[in-house]
């Protein structure tokens, strides 16, 4: 395949935060291809391009993504975002992008290197600017969210979700056991504390707080014990379930700033 002309950015990951990055880049005129695992475990599925790997396509805020086996030879403005099953970045053996963004949010480096692209940007803990990537973008909620670091590392992983309307860890639901996920409600539904949100292996899992179900892992997913499977938003604004979050937008802005700062061709 011939080298794709233009400003192609490869994004590792296509969950909700990665999708916020992709939205920013597409609107700024970049061509984007997202690389994902074969069975993504995003819970904010309504705003995750990773859903294209299951359904063939996904649309977030009017931007469409398609599951493809290979990148197209030619790309026109307005074409869908390409989503490929390629967690190991085999695509880089055939394509030289202008930049690569590690948006897996694994809290550790899963193989991203400085030599993968002329500009490499990584999100959150597990990366050091100048060692693993040319720039690191802060992902921890607070004063520095979205800040671009050209040296040093992002803040360490606290293991505690950021506060939303005064709620942190209690708004996130983790699988109490391994098993098949069976939903008891849908993303966008309002629940009270104690209402069943889903069942795993037949065991009901209740909402820890009242609010809107903002995230819910895909029905039928085989969850491991401890996996994040749902998210309840106490702000109770249903529309927030279907648009990128403030955090995703801030991180996306940081990535765009980094690419422009570092001279992406």
Instruction: Write the CATH number for 68.
Output: 3.40.50
130 and 256 both lie in a single domain: yes
More confident residue, 259 or 161: 259
Question: Hey, is 117 helix, strand or coil?
Answer: coil
Rg (CA), the chain: 18
Q: Is the pLDDT of residue 177 over 70?
A: yes
Q: Domain check: are 47 and 99 in the same one?
A: yes
The widest CA-to-CA distance across the chain, in whole angstroms, is 56
Q: What is the pLDDT of residue 2?
A: 31
Domain contains 120: yes
Q: Are residues 79 and 147 in the same domain?
A: yes
Residue-number span of the structural domain to which 78 is assigned? 8-157+246-261
What would the two tokens of residue 256 be? 């765009």
* Inside any domain, residue 239: no
Identify the H or E element spanning 25.
Answer: helix 16-27
Tens of pLDDT, residue by residue over 64-88, are 999 999 998 888 878 999 999 999 9
Residues 74 and 151 both lie in one domain: yes
User: Is there a single domain that holds both residue 173 and residue 153?
Assistant: no
Q: For residue 161, give the nearest of 173, 169, 153 by alpha carbon.
A: 169
Q: Is residue 87 part of a domain?
A: yes
pTM of the full structure: 0.92
Among 230, 234, 229, 237, which residue's Cα sits nearest to residue 193? 234
What CATH code is carried by the domain that includes residue 206? 2.40.50.100
Q: Which two tokens stand for residue 30?
A: 């970049």
Instruction: Give the C-alpha separation, 214 to 127, whole Å.
Output: 29
Domain count, the chain: 2
Does 165 have pLDDT greater than 60?
Answer: no
Q: Tell me if 252 sits within 8 A of 25, measured CB to CB.
A: yes
What torsion, rounded to 10 degrees, do the Cα atoms 33, 257, 109, 88 define?
10
């Amino acid at each position: 395949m011939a080298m794709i002309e233009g400003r192609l950015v490869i994004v590792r990951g296509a969950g909700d935060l990665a999708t916020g990055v992709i939205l920013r880049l597409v609107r700024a005129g970049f061509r984007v291809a997202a690389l994902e695992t074969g069975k993504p475990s995003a819970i904010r599925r309504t705003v995750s391009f990773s859903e294209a790997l299951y359904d063939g396509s996904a649309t977030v805020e009017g931007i469409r993504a398609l599951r493809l086996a290979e990148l197209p030879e030619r790309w026109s403005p307005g074409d869908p975002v390409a989503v490929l099953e390629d967690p190991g970045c085999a695509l880089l053996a055939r394509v030289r992008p202008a930049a690569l963004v590690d948006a897996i949010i694994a809290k550790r480096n899963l193989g991203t290197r400085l030599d993968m692209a002329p500009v490499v940007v990584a999100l959150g803990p597990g990366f050091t600017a100048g060692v693993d990537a040319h720039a690191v973008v802060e992902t921890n909620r607070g004063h520095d969210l979205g800040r671009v670091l050209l040296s040093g590392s992002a803040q360490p992983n606290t293991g505690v979700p950021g506060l939303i309307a005064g709620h942190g860890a209690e708004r996130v639901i983790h699988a109490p056991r391994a098993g098949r996920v069976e939903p008891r409600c849908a993303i966008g539904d309002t629940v009270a504390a104690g209402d069943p949100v889903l069942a795993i292996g037949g065991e009901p899992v209740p909402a820890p707080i009242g609010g809107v179900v903002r995230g819910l892992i895909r029905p039928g997913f085989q969850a491991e014990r401890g996996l994040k499977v749902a998210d309840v938003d106490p702000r109770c604004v249903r529309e927030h379930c279907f648009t990128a979050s403030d955090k995703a937008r801030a991180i996306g802005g940081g990535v765009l700033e980094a690419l422009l700062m570092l001279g992406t061709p």
